[in-house]
Structure 1
Amino acid sequence: MVAAGRRGADGGAPARAGDDAPGGLAATMARLRGRAAATVRDRSRRVRAVGGLAVQAGLAAALSWFVAHELLHISQPVFAPISAVSTLAASVGQRLRRTVELILGVTVGVLIGDLLLAVIGTGWWQLSLIVVLAIVVALFLAGSAAVVIQAGATAVLIATLSPSIRDLEIPRFVDALVGGGVALLVTAVLLPLNPLRVLNRAARPVLDLLVTQLDATAGALADRDAARARTARRELRQNKGPLKAFVEATQGAREASTLSPVHWHQRRGPVGRYAQAAEPIDRAMRNSGTLIRRAVTLIEDDEPVPEPLPRAVADLAEAVRVLKRQFAAGAEPDRAREQSLRAVQMAGRAYREGVGFSGAVVVAQIRTTVSDLLVASGLTQDEANLLVRRNFGDL
């Protein structure tokens, strides 16, 4: 006789289908709850990250309207707040450039529109010709998408509204100037960004990714776990987005520390040092990718793994971790340098104990990555190379 239901492990009530099945309802609901919570967290982080931008944009829009309408007596200064918001919508670090592009684009559109209207008049084909020429001139002068858009949009306004609205050109130009100038005033003086915070927020994902995968590689070498090393290699390749954000953040930090009097003192201190670290950190990421790739081959080829080799990779991960903490604190990264050199010393010991072909490549990449980290900490390339050679020991 077939049992009515499978009984629980303790002999009690029958277990319900799906309670402990991997694909059951309970597991599905748990996965859905986890995804929903992760989505809420991601969107909350996004709001926190751009919340300051929203406040800056609101203040800049209101202030630019006030300046254009109340102080300059432009009757309908619609384009002043639009220009302000457009400037703030640019990537952090590109706002000064965006302001110049706005003004250049508007100027090209006004000049081309006025010149051609005086010669060929108004109409549908005249509008087409004016826009084409404005865009071509903007491309020739700057080549920037922002300049092209502003030149084309301004040419459309001049060609379509000038016959019915007199003296449109000067208010349009002044609106662009006021909007961009007010946006810079808001970001530089009224609500300035903290450049160190901008850098920390952008650098954290990059450095955390590098630390995590180097730690995983150290464990994979110690346990001869090729699958774990392959996973680390695959995960480290997902670095293009975080690296791009970090590079953009360095531009923003430089801009903030240059424009804002509040942060002028940081320009040559922690912010300057941090901003200059983007390129060597990028190199460290790429060299660590080679390190991990050769670690996979080392394990698969059953080469010797001297005990100091996993420790060297772990020390390298710790050096990145310490560098992140000292950068975040705005401190001189001296402890990060010391930790980096410990990784080189361990790599030297591993090399002298005996490694195979891929093991030698791993050792070489540890040396190269440490050199990158030392440069990121503020040393010159020659200083970094000399310290690496001294601490590695005899070949």
Structure 2
Amino acid sequence: MGVLRALRRHAAPATDADGRRISAALAELGRRGQRSAAARLRRLRTYLVLAVQAGLAAALAWLISHELLRTSEPVFAPVIAVAVIATSIDRRLRRSVELLVGVTVGIGVGDLLIAGTGTGPWQIGVIVALAIMVAILLRGSSSLITQAGGTAVLIASLTPTTQDLEVPRFVNAGIGGAVGLSVALLLLPLHPLRLVRRRANPLFELFTSQLAATTRALRNRDARQAQDALRALTQDTQLRQLHEALQAAREVVTYSPFRWNRRGTLIQYEEGAEHMERAFRDSRGLVRRIASLIRDGEPVPDALPGAVGRLCSALRLLHRDLSAGREPDRTREETLWVVTEAARATEAGLGFHGTAAVAQLRTMAHDLLRATGLDRSDARTLIRRTFAAARAR
């Protein structure tokens, strides 16, 4: 106790600055916790349908194999059905076929060798090696090879007490695969636009929030805030997730008759997403120029942060228009306001980095107009005329 009292006597008294730092740290910790909880909730909403699909597929596969076909060991059917559902939503049909082929190879090689050699450590090694060799000869992917080897281990190590089960095992694998695909594409298909929208939300949130931060950095002349926004925009995770969602949605509207009516809207979203991705990558150049502009003390006319703020608004409108499948007239109008504000900033006077930032704004405006469905020529003409008209006023 005496040591503690001595430490307290010699400890530096807490200052207001210390209290502010502690409060800021606790506040940031709370914000991170909220963001993490929100991210988990979004992930649950996105994948909840997969859990329902898996449960339905497992129940149907067991019912068909055990009750209708009277298979004595129907476990392979629900296992394969769940595996088909659990495969990545990206390219599910292809991955499901690879899964079925891998299981079939593993079952076939395992059953043939066990019938002649029995089971044991060396038999497991030989069976797995041969199953993988067959998968390689079939020019299988890593997924197919892994599945063939894993199934061979299962077959070699869990010898059935009932003999002559080779045909039921093959039948169960086929039933499970067919049921899994039927549930995923026919009975309970994913809603393609809802899937894409939920995967796109984090990307648009990142994009717009960092552009909003860049707007504040310009108004406050805060180079560090602009640099933080640039660092956040270098992440590509959200782009990859959007690509996966678009591929999965394309597969659903191609193979599921109940989703064929969504083809046109999805095509529009795919075309828009391609140009939106370019705008996302171009934004890094814009924010980098803005950070340099602030550090070098170049002039910041009020119209420049206004242009970046308008760009943020145009992106939000684009996301809503693409998700709803409606004509993006409001997005086009807001994008042209970006060009107008950029022209006014040019007239007010800019330095080297400011001029380069305006050029990036025009490029991003072109990307957004293309994302709304305009062709290259029309987009360029609109931007050029709007910029010239604004400078002439």
Q: TM-score range by the shorter chain?
A: 0.7 to 0.9
Q: What is the distance in 1 between the residues matched to 2:369 and 2:221? A: 29
Q: How much has 1:336 moved relative to structure 2? A: 1.1
Q: Tell me the residue number matched to 1:277.
A: 272
Q: Tell me the residue number matched to 1:3.
A: none
Alpha-carbon distance change, 58 to 111 in structure 1, aligned in 2, over 3 angstroms = closer
Q: Secondary structure at the match of 1:267?
A: helix
Q: How much has 1:76 moved relative to structure 2? A: 1.4
Q: How much has 1:145 moved relative to structure 2? A: 3.3
Q: Spell out the pairing of 1:78-93 with structure 2 (5 A cutoff).
A: 78-93=75-90
Q: Spell out the pairing of 1:299-310 with structure 2 (5 A cutoff).
A: 299-310=294-305
Check whether the contact 1:251–1:275 (CA below 8 A) recurs between aligned residues: no
Q: What is the distance in 2 between the residues matched to 1:67 and 1:225? A: 66
Kindly indicate whether residue 225 of structure 2 is the aligned counterpart of residue 255 of structure 1.
Answer: no
Tell me which amino acid in the other structure corresponds to 1:173: F
Stretches of structure 1 lacking an aligned partner (at least 5 in a row) = 1-16
Q: Tell me the residue number matched to 2:142.
A: 145
Q: Which segment drifts farther, 289-298 or 210-219?
A: 210-219
Q: Tell me the residue number matched to 1:208.
A: 205
Alpha-carbon distance change, 158 to 375 in structure 1, aligned in 2, over 3 angstroms = same
Tell me which amino acid in the other structure corresponds to 1:241: T
Q: Secondary structure at the match of 1:50?
A: helix
Alpha-carbon distance change, 101 to 330 in structure 1, aligned in 2, over 3 angstroms = same
Check whether the contact 2:98–2:140 (CA below 8 A) recurs between aligned residues: no
Q: Which segment drifts farther, 64-73 or 113-122?
A: 113-122
Q: What is the distance in 2 between the residues matched to 1:27 and 1:336? A: 37
Q: What is the distance in 2 between the residues matched to 1:391 and 1:326? A: 23
Stretches of structure 2 lacking an aligned partner (at least 5 in a row) = 1-13
Q: Secondary structure at the match of 1:302?
A: coil
Check whether the contact 1:102–1:176 (CA below 8 A) recurs between aligned residues: no
- What is the CA RMSD across the aligned residues, in angstroms? 3.3
Check whether the contact 1:254–1:275 (CA below 8 A) recurs between aligned residues: no
Q: How much has 1:102 moved relative to structure 2? A: 1.5
Q: What is the distance in 1 between the residues matched to 2:46 and 2:282? A: 30
Check whether the contact 2:57–2:183 (CA below 8 A) recurs between aligned residues: yes
Deviations 1:256-285 (A, max 9, x none): 2223222211112x2221133333222211
Bigger share in helix: 2
Q: Tell me the residue number matched to 2:367.
A: 372
Q: What is the distance in 2 between the residues matched to 1:117 and 1:388? A: 72
Q: How much has 1:212 moved relative to structure 2? A: 1.6
Check whether the contact 2:289–2:357 (CA below 8 A) recurs between aligned residues: yes
Q: What is the distance in 2 between the residues matched to 1:180 and 1:46? A: 26
Q: Tell me the residue number matched to 1:61.
A: 58
Q: Secondary structure at the match of 1:292?
A: helix
Q: Spell out the pairing of 1:190-209 with structure 2 (5 A cutoff).
A: 190-209=187-206
Q: What is the distance in 2 between the residues matched to 1:100 and 1:139? A: 15
Q: Tell me the residue number matched to 1:13.
A: none
Q: Which segment drifts farther, 127-136 or 165-174?
A: 165-174
Deviations 1:313-334 (A, max 9, x none): 1121111011112123221222
Q: Tell me the residue number matched to 1:22.
A: 19
Q: How much has 1:348 moved relative to structure 2? A: 3.2
Q: Spell out the pairing of 1:332-371 with structure 2 (5 A cutoff).
A: 332-371=327-366
Q: How much has 1:45 moved relative to structure 2? A: 4.1
Tell me which amino acid in the other structure corresponds to 1:174: V
Q: What is the distance in 1 between the residues matched to 2:380 and 2:149? A: 52
Tell me which amino acid in the other structure corresponds to 1:128: G
Alpha-carbon distance change, 315 to 39 in structure 1, aligned in 2, over 3 angstroms = closer
Q: Tell me the residue number matched to 1:185.
A: 182
Check whether the contact 1:158–1:168 (CA below 8 A) recurs between aligned residues: no
Alpha-carbon distance change, 32 to 250 in structure 1, aligned in 2, over 3 angstroms = closer
How does the TM-score come out when normalised to structure 1? Answer: 0.83
Check whether the contact 1:162–1:168 (CA below 8 A) recurs between aligned residues: no
Alpha-carbon distance change, 335 to 25 in structure 1, aligned in 2, over 3 angstroms = closer
Q: Tell me the residue number matched to 1:101.
A: 98
Alpha-carbon distance change, 177 to 338 in structure 1, aligned in 2, over 3 angstroms = farther
Q: Which segment drifts farther, 378-387 or 203-212?
A: 378-387
Q: What is the distance in 1 between the residues matched to 2:208 and 2:338? A: 14
Q: Tell me the residue number matched to 2:121.
A: 124
How does the TM-score come out when normalised to structure 2? Answer: 0.83
Q: What is the distance in 2 between the residues matched to 1:24 and 1:383? A: 52
Q: How much has 1:34 moved relative to structure 2? A: 7.1
Alpha-carbon distance change, 86 to 356 in structure 1, aligned in 2, over 3 angstroms = same
Check whether the contact 2:87–2:96 (CA below 8 A) recurs between aligned residues: no
Q: How much has 1:226 moved relative to structure 2? A: 1.7
Q: Which segment drifts farther, 323-332 or 131-140?
A: 131-140
Q: How much has 1:202 moved relative to structure 2? A: 1.0
Q: What is the distance in 2 between the residues matched to 1:245 and 1:225? A: 32
Tell me which amino acid in the other structure corresponds to 1:281: M
Q: Spell out the pairing of 1:213-252 with structure 2 (5 A cutoff).
A: 213-237=210-234, 239-252=235-248
Q: What is the distance in 2 between the residues matched to 1:246 and 1:35? A: 23
Alpha-carbon distance change, 23 to 386 in structure 1, aligned in 2, over 3 angstroms = closer
Q: Which segment drifts farther, 286-295 or 147-156?
A: 147-156
Deviations 1:289-345 (A, max 9, x none): 110011000111122333332222112111101111212322122221222122123
Kindly indicate whether residue 293 of structure 2 is the aligned counterpart of residue 298 of structure 1.
Answer: yes
Q: Tell me the residue number matched to 1:325.
A: 320
Kindly tell me the number of residue pairs found equivalent between the two proteins: 377
Q: What is the distance in 2 between the residues matched to 1:43 and 1:199? A: 17
